[in-house]
Structure 1
Amino acid sequence: MRNQTVYSWGAAIVCFLVLMIVTPAIPQSQQYHDFADKREFLGIPNTLNVVSNFPFLIIGIVGLLLCYHGNYFRLSLQGEVWGWTIFFIGVAAVAFGSSYYHLKPNDARLVWDRLPMTIAFTSIMAVFIIERIDAKTGTVSILPLVVAGVISILYWRFFDDLRPYALVQFVPCIAIPVMAILMPPMYTHSTYWLWAAVIAVFYLLAKVEEAEDKVIYRWTHQIVSGHTLKHLCAAMVPVFLTIMLARRTIEPERQSLFQIWRISWMKVKESRLKVESSNCEYTAVVTLE
């Protein structure tokens, strides 16, 4: 297992280096800071983009408290406790970092917007490794993954290149749904990983809304912008994960979603065959001599 871990990290590093060599740098566009909704209420600049971060604070605090309140989430491994603790701290910190950025958008403040999100992304990836691959490997991976996320932010800030940050953001969006389908879970209610989408449906929808910030602002007759909706959609990810933690129990029979779906499909096929065979009728044919 230790050799497999070393090989996995080695392969990941090689792939990263190759990608950095064959792809061009992605600089931070300064138009990114030009958001559609610049309205000010109660003396708060860019009010809706600021206050729409409040759900992150609520769900982060709730999740953090439930991690330690009588083991409400029924976490069975110490690595899980550490991973989920870092995740909910990151989620709560998004509220402060993103609000700070939106009060006066610029590159220097954007660091504090992206840093807590990156910490949440990387810690949840480590938790998923604990649950689906190996507990020890996942626990050991928590610190390296979080550090890699922080380095991706620093690399962008000092070299004006978003490629490492983009990988940290989008690799979990692809890896977690695929692993959730193919790998057997430790707990029940694993479909919540798909509903949460740690990194796919809601967050990708949020990125679309972010890209169409001004378009959505016009469509809604200047009621709400795409970036504000991005905050609200992205906040749904930790909401779904918190619901999953509250409902799940230890899985007695570890089967991947793919195996479950395959078995269900086979049962459906068998039932259809039985129905078709039972509907067959025989009639007597009269022959003339």
Structure 2
Amino acid sequence: MSLLSLSHRERCLLSLFVLLVLAAVVGPALPASGLGAAPFADTHAWRGLPNAMDVLSNLPFAAIGIWGLRWLHWLDRANEEAQDAAPLPQAAFQPPVNSLDCAWMFFAGLILTAAGSAFYHLEPDSMRLAADRAGMAVAFAGLVGFAVCERVSSRAGWPAAWFTLVGGLLAAAICHATGNALPWVLVQFGGMALIAALALTKPMNGAIGLKLGWVIFFYMLAKMFELADHAIFEATQQFVSGHSLKHLTAALAALPVLHALQAMERQTLRHNPGAAAVTA
């Protein structure tokens, strides 16, 4: 595939990825300690579980991840039923394959995020933080890929997801090995800047309807809770910390992806009403 065959949006996406790589390579090192890595506010244990609320508040990531994977499995089976039932001259509804692949990555990443974040908050240190970020990188890659499928092109979504995944894993490893957090910052905030830009563009033909505005809203709210960790802990009489609320709110950012899968479900059932029996 040559550059001339790329659409305008695909060329813009490629340019952004090249700029992010260059910034990570030639940019000044950003010490991890400069990111405000203060101790978490809530260190209370519960039934022998250290930092209990910051650990247990990761459960929604796992719950939504399992829910999403189950839904995707149903969609795969329902689409197979629809294809088998449709006469050859009639084209059954075809869910966008790359979007579904990115959704599989996203929901699997949510489960890995729950495991990695719980592992980190049990006993925070640099190695466990790298594991936490590795899980986040998988979920974030799936989300970026899904958004690119919706707003750039279906063929660009899967490469964008893999680029983000590899970049995220490398950034987490570099931060752990060298203490330079710049690559991770570029992955996290560069990726969210991309999603914000895509939210302002018109969806492509055949897009399912991923509501990127809600993703950004929940992400920003989670960041606000994170920054107000200690203040919220004191304001609630040490009942809940901002960091625990950050986990709960960040998990809600997966709901727009679930809503998009619901749109796929409705289209599948519209083309094959008997597919509902698959879930029985």
Category of TM-score, reference length = shorter chain: 0.7 to 0.9
Conserved? CA contact 2:147–2:195, under 8 Å:
yes
- Alpha-carbon distance between aligned partners in 2 of 1:132 and 1:155, rounded to the nearest angstrom: 31
Matched, 1:187 2:207: yes
Match of 1:59 among 55, 64, 72: 64
- Aligned partner of 1:271 in structure 2 is none
Matched, 1:218 2:234: yes
Q: Which runs of 4+ in 1 moved over 4 A?
A: 5-8, 72-75
Gaps of 5+ in 1: 251-289
Conserved? CA contact 2:148–2:198, under 8 Å:
no
Matched, 1:38 2:58: no
Aligned residues: 246
- Aligned partner of 2:130 in structure 1 is 111
1:115-126 equivalences under 5 Å are 115-126=134-145
Q: Tell me the amino acid that sits aligned with residue 25 of structure 1.
A: L
Matched, 1:12 2:17: yes
- Structure 1 residue 77: deviation in Å? 2.6
- Aligned partner of 2:150 in structure 1 is 131
Gaps of 5+ in 2: 80-92, 268-280
- Label 1:17 to 1:187 Cα distance change in 2 as closer, same or farther (>3 A): closer
Match of 2:224 among 205, 208, 211: 208
Match of 2:258 among 242, 262, 267: 242
- Label 1:89 to 1:28 Cα distance change in 2 as closer, same or farther (>3 A): farther
- Alpha-carbon distance between aligned partners in 2 of 1:44 and 1:219, rounded to the nearest angstrom: 24
- Structure 1 residue 6: deviation in Å? 7.2
- Alpha-carbon distance between aligned partners in 2 of 1:226 and 1:36, rounded to the nearest angstrom: 8
What TM-score comes out, normalization by structure 1 length? 0.76
1:273-288 equivalences under 5 Å are none
- Report the RMSD for the aligned CA atoms in angstroms: 2.6
- Aligned partner of 1:268 in structure 2 is none
Specify the structure having the higher radius of gyration (Cα): 1
Q: Percent identity?
A: 28
- Structure 1 residue 176: deviation in Å? 1.6
- Alpha-carbon distance between aligned partners in 2 of 1:67 and 1:123, rounded to the nearest angstrom: 14
| 1:185-221 deviation line (CA, Å, top 9, x unaligned) | 433544x221222xxx222222222122111111111
Q: Tell me the amino acid that sits aligned with residue 224 of structure 1.
A: V
- Aligned partner of 1:278 in structure 2 is none
- Alpha-carbon distance between aligned partners in 2 of 1:181 and 1:85, rounded to the nearest angstrom: 25
| 1:81-122 deviation line (CA, Å, top 9, x unaligned) | 221111000011111111111111111111111111111112
- Alpha-carbon distance between aligned partners in 2 of 1:141 and 1:219, rounded to the nearest angstrom: 41
- Structure 1 residue 146: deviation in Å? 1.1
Conserved? CA contact 1:28–1:161, under 8 Å:
no
- Alpha-carbon distance between aligned partners in 1 of 2:16 and 2:163, rounded to the nearest angstrom: 15
- Structure 1 residue 27: deviation in Å? 2.3
